[in-house]
Amino acid sequence: MRTRLLAFVAVCGATVAVAACSRASSAPKASPTPNVPTPETVIGQWVRDNRNVDYLGNCQVAKQGVDIGKLCVSVAGTRGKLRAYNLGPTFSDPTALAMVEQQKDGTWKLLSVTNNDPSAGNVPGIAWPLEVGDQVVVVGLAENDCLRIHETPSQTGKQSACEPQGATGIVQEGPTQAESFTWWRIAGNGPGGAFNGWAVDKWLRLPSALQQVLQPNGPPKPTATATAKR
């Protein structure tokens, strides 16, 4: 009797162990976390779709003699969910500025790729997207030049003011696309008094975009040789 009882306990123990093992093996497994494309990857896809050249990614990993002629990126700046990248050949000056934005799901979307225009001069600061209510600074004008303010978003519109380097204003309306330019209506107080009209956005920057280039004792010095578009 004692022998049969011990055998029964042993069988029951083995059965419980097998059942427990079965339950453990049938437990749902955690799904692997999907890889979210990085901003560099998103820009790389654009390069593959629009440029007939190899893409490296981060310029910092470029190797002499191996990665010559490939396109690469380096971070130019960030603003909220926006990130700007300098895009160009390895071991060379950047030739374009790529802008990406992080979406609610954590992914990144390419907003724009803007080629640098050497003939237009060097306008300092990143050209972050503007919004109504933003404060802007006039920068990048040629020496003794000014940014023309028009009553309508057109180079042929009546000029109501001409604001110098360092003038500030508040965005009132826009954007409007006309004559291959993006126009914003801005208002402020300049050397000639109050102004309110339309200006081309190429020479408008957010103050935060100029923190690294503004001189501590005044507005940025002229850095361009091109004349501001009318």
Residue with tokens 């440029």: 51
For the chain, the domains span 39-116, 121-230
How confident is the model at residue 47, as a pLDDT? Answer: 96
Instruction: State how far Cα 35 lies from the chain centre.
Output: 21
Question: Which residues are paired to 129 by β-bridges?
Answer: none
How confident is the model at residue 117, as a pLDDT? Answer: 79
CA distance readout (Å), 192 to 25, 146, 163, 164, 201: 80, 12, 8, 10, 21
Cis omega before residue 207 (within 30°)? no
| Nearest residue to 42 via CA among 107, 93, 89, 116 | 107
How confident is the model at residue 35, as a pLDDT? Answer: 72
Question: For residue 33, what is the DSSP state?
Answer: P
Question: For residue 120, what is the DSSP state?
Answer: G
How confident is the model at residue 28, as a pLDDT? Answer: 60
How confident is the model at residue 36, as a pLDDT? Answer: 75
Q: Residue ranges of the chain with pLDDT lower than 50?
A: 1-3, 5-12, 14-22, 24, 215-226
pLDDT digits (tens, 9 = 90+) for 153-174: 999 999 999 999 999 999 999 9
pLDDT digits (tens, 9 = 90+) for 214-223: 544 433 444 4
How confident is the model at residue 214, as a pLDDT? Answer: 52
How confident is the model at residue 118, as a pLDDT? Answer: 76
How confident is the model at residue 122, as a pLDDT? Answer: 75
Residue with tokens 């981060």: 58
Q: Return the CATH superfamily for domain 121-230.
A: SH3 Domains (2.30.30.40)
Q: Which residues contact 113 (CB under 8 A, 6 or more apart)?
A: 43, 46, 50, 87, 96, 97, 98, 99
pTM: 0.71
